[in-house]
Amino acid sequence: MSYITKPKVHHPALQQNAIGLTRRDYEGTITTLCAGCGHDSITAAIIQAFWDLSIPPHKVAKLSGIGCSSKTPAYFLREAHGFNSVHGRMPALVAGANAANRDIIYIGISGDGDSLSIGLGQLCHAIRRNVNVLYVLENNGVYGLTKGQFSASADPGSLSKKGEANTMDAIDGCLLALTLGATFVGRGFSGDKAQLVPMIKAGLRHKGFAFLDVISPCVTFNDHEGSTKSYGYTREHNVEVVQADFVPPASAITAEYEPGTVSNVMLHDGSWVRLRKVAADYDPTDRDLAYRHIRDRQKAGEVVTGLLYLSPDSKDLHDQSNTVSTPLTQLPYDTLCPGNDELQKLQKRFR
């Protein structure tokens, strides 16, 4: 495919990549998310990754479902086609788009509600189909856009902003993906750009479904027990207004730490998450080992991060469907229509 690069005058300070584009060229409209939302940090990492790889933005398609997370495709790659679709159904759109045009680089953005509740079935089957897409699950354990109900990835025992405890086990997207035979499974943290950017790049390069679970704290709604005063304050006001509408000003959480080590990260509400980065010598080619490692650390109250599994031989949707290497969208009509003579011939069958 021929990449069109556009001449542009840039502020000299802005560094250019191999195809002469600056990070700015990979940005989108400005975010409408809460100040300090983890999702915005992920957006920044995505911009960095695409820039590093010198991918022409218009060769990318960015799709999403519905949710705060699913809004973020508007905030990167201005020059890429975007599709903010319906809740939980983005995997089907990507499968169809990818079947139609295999030359596009697909990135799907979703949330834990979008992926693990309403969209769980589609996610599982997109994994099975091994659709060639980087699937980023921006995981905050709540439904942000609908104001803080538990999602299926909320930790058991955690308290909602309304003060109710979650009674159910969390679905671990990585364990699920491994069980379904995913060919690429990774987990990151929105605040750890150093770890996240390389995983995004690896996922974009992967031929097949790259599942990337990114823990992405919700500033506004994942208050837990022992939360700040503002919490009591907002709850107080809940009584007399339709919805608590105060969002405390906050800034994004960051955490950079060494492979093999554990890092305790405090969330906006004062609660903690223990992140365990896979060791440098971790072997990501053994599916069962990956599963066991996640489970073992889980029991120790830790959340494993890093590139957890990478299939040595990944056969994507097109390999499986044995489609031609030319995108179906680019096949000339005359190579598709058998013509009238053939139509007359084949109708002998119907006499």
Partner 1 sequence: MDRVNNFAFKIATANGTGSASANGLIMQAIFRMGVPVTGKNVFPSNIQGLPTWYEIRVNRKGYTARTPDFDLMVAMNPATYQKDVTELRPGGWLVYDSTWPLDDTLVRPDVTSLGIPLAQMVNTAFKGVRERILMKNIAYAGALAGLLDMDAEIIRTLLAEKFSRKPALMDSNRTAIDLGYDYVKTHFPCPLPIRLAAMNETADSILIDGNTAAALGCLYAGATVGAWYPITPATSLMEAFKSFCQKYRVDPESKQNRFAILQAEDELAAVGMVIGASWAGARAFTPTAGPGISLMSEFIGLAYYAEVPAVIFDVQRTGPSTGMPTRTQQGDLMLCAYASHGDTRHICLYPSDPREAFEFAAASFDLAERFQTPVFVLSDLDIGMNDWMVPKLAWDDSYRPDRGKVLSAEELEGVKTFYRYLDVDGDGIAARTLPGISPKGAFFTRGSGHNRFGAYTEDGDEYVEVIDRIDRKIQQASRAVPAPVIRHAPGAKMGLVTIGGCHAACLEAIDILAADGVPLDYLRVRGFPFGADVTRFLEAHDINFIVEQNRDGQLRSLLMLETGVPIERLESVRYYGGFPMSANHVIAGVKAKLERAA
Ligand X SMILES: Cc1ncc(C[n+]2csc(CCOP(=O)(O)OP(=O)(O)O)c2C)c(N)n1
269 and 223 Cβ atoms separated by less than 8 Å: yes
Q: Which is nearer to ligand X, 17 or 149 (CB)?
A: 149
How many amino acids of this chain bind partner 1 (CB under 8 A)?
100
Dig out the tokens for 7 from the structure. Answer: 């001449």
CA–CA separation, 8 and 225 (whole Å):
52
Phi, psi angle pair for 346, to nearest 5° = -65, -20
62 and 27 Cβ atoms separated by less than 8 Å: no
**Residue 140 sits in the site that holds ligand SF4 (CB under 6 A):** yes
**Residue 255 sits in the site that holds ligand SF4 (CB under 6 A):** no
Stretch touching a copy of itself by CB under 8 A, among 120-128, 190-198, 202-210, 257-265: 120-128
Stretch touching ligand X by CB under 6 A, among 65-73, 197-205, 282-290, 294-302: 65-73
Residues 84-123 that bind Mg ion (CB under 5 A): 111-113
**Residue 86 sits in the site that holds a copy of itself (CB under 8 A):** no
Closest alpha carbon to 168 in 206, 141, 147: 141
Residues 75-104 that bind partner 1 (CB under 8 A): 78-89, 91-101, 103-104
Query: What binding mask, one character per residue, do residues 21-40 give for ligand SF4 by CB under 6 A, x or -?
Result: ------------xx--x-x-
**Residue 345 sits in the site that holds a copy of itself (CB under 8 A):** no
Side chain identity at residue 128, one-letter code: R
Q: Which is nearer to partner 1, 58 or 207 (CB)?
A: 58
Q: Token match 């980023």: residue?
A: 136
Distances 251 to 6, 42, 140, 264, 306 between C-alpha atoms, Å: 35, 14, 16, 18, 24
Which residues make up the interface to ligand SF4 (CB under 6 A)? 33-34, 37, 39, 68, 140, 144-145, 218-221
